[in-house]
Chain A
Amino acid sequence: MESQVELSKIEQSAIRRKKIQNFFVYLLLTFWALMVLFPFYWMVLSSLKSYSAYSSEYVPKFYTLSPTIQNYIDVFTTVPLGRYLLNTLIFTLITTGIMLIVTILAAYAFARIEFVGRDFMFMIFLALMMIPNELVIITNFVTITTLGMRNTFTGLILPSITSVFYIYLLRENFAQVPDELYYAAKVDGTSDLKYLFRVMVPICKPTIITITILKVIECWNSYVWPRLITDNSLYFLVSNGIQEIRENGLGRENIPAMMAAVVVISIPLVVLFLIFHKKIMEGVSRGGTKG
């Protein structure tokens, strides 16, 4: 009898301890979630305040009673934000498209075709993964300048196409497709190119979608190369655009309008993320980095 009482007491205290622990865990997680979300809340909030309301708040307010969309009209009319968005869209689509073709072809060659020098070439490709962008960007800048391709889409796109890492990732996936499929297709007289796009690509679609999304994120956020290669605001991408807006457009103090621009720039990727968050997180954990 006595021992039973003891037991239930122990059990109760264990449950209580677990509850207290959970409380602190949720407290920590909620605190960090607020830290992550707060800047987003603040930018949306500020973008909805009118310039005069924003400037008159010596102590910033956490809400607004008179939201306005005037700032959103301003960023499309007084500064060419629409142009920046269009440029970024063109840049992202073309770069990602060409990258996909180059990557798929190279990954297929490494995974399926047996040719002289393949393993040696693959080693070189792997070694190239370790080369930091900062080293090669200097010459690329000089090359593109000498070719007269500054302030053109060609100059923006060409050096941004290849990513050795994506070739590697896709090769690993291609190599997992059983050989029997390939031989069966060969017996049927299917050409390599047809086999690649009719069989391999559909089978490895998840990996291809992952690289596509990672590349889109990379393109949308790229800042350094576009900054070096464009000084004509007709060719600015959003990152350079926002920097330009901050330093020269809208007037330095018009923070609500700047925040409206930031919101507009952030929306496409946030929407993409909300739709594909599982795929994006899986892809990044397989080999994305951000530094």
Chain B
Amino acid sequence: MMILSGDPPRSRVLSALLIVIVALLALAPFLFPGAKPLNVATKICVFAALVASYDLLLGYTGTVSFAHTMFYGIGSYGIAIALYTLGPTWTAVGAGLACGLPLAVLLALAIGLFSLRVQAIFFAMITLAVASAFLVLASQLSGLTGGEDGRSFQLPELLRPGTVFAKGVFGITVSGRTLTYYIVFVGAAAMILALLRVVNSPFGRVLQAIRENRFRAEALGYRTVFHLTLANCIAALVAAFAGALNALWLRYAGPDTSLAFSIMLDILLMVVIGGMGTIYGAIIGAVIFILAQNYLQALMGLASSAAADAGLPLLPGLLHPDRWLLWLGLLFIASVYFFPTGVVGRLRGAARQ
């Protein structure tokens, strides 16, 4: 209970789901040694932390920000630029983190101080403008960022796929790639646990009070701009660290993988599907979304073929793999409609009854 900061999942089904997810992710290199499954597992880890940090903003303070991918991108580019320019050393990794993370926090501080005093909608617009400007900047400063092509780089020796630590451990080769995966896994887990600690602290309670009624919280003596800005900075720090982990895994940072607005939309969907203001929802949302994104097309292909073999009318066409985005969209509309409080909210509600 201590590790969860006194905030357990509060639903047996949810607890079981989380245990299964964490166990599968912890053993992923041994259970799913292929390249694609391991990529999916890593993406789930990175996005679970990234979405949890966004949940701190949206779910706990009610603040809508469109700059979250910018912080994620700063973390990614910090690592990429440092390793590209300084070479594949641990010093470069440290330098990337030492530049990227504070830069993300400073930008979040500046945005917060300038715009969290105004109404929520203006804050959202300002973050949108800043994030757009940063995307353009990253594309234009090609000498530093690699422009539209991004930056590929080499990892330190220890993290390279070619570095073999052991062969035949449960049938797989333990390599630098395995170590990188566990760095991502442990890093993401640490970030989520830290966020649980934050939201269950007195500071987290003030954030919830601000979400409910900002003026009421001020009438109790709380400086809401300070609390919102600090939450924004913590969220930016975690997002930047998640970006750094993602860059380490991909050995690349570019606009499409770290700054694109489609990532922001994915984060929003994952928060809503999982359940806002729960932190655990980030894990569930990331798992559902990323699995659907990666495997729905293949599943539909199988279903379409099966329907065609059975001679069923209409179904083969409806389930054609090319229509996977349509079904993904319908799936999300249905999940928001049937689970307005997200999967976690629904499961907790059922447990209360």
Asked if A and B bind, the verdict is: no
Residues of chain B whose beta carbon lies under 8 Å from any beta carbon of chain A: none
- A residues whose Cβ falls under 8 Å from a Cβ of B: none
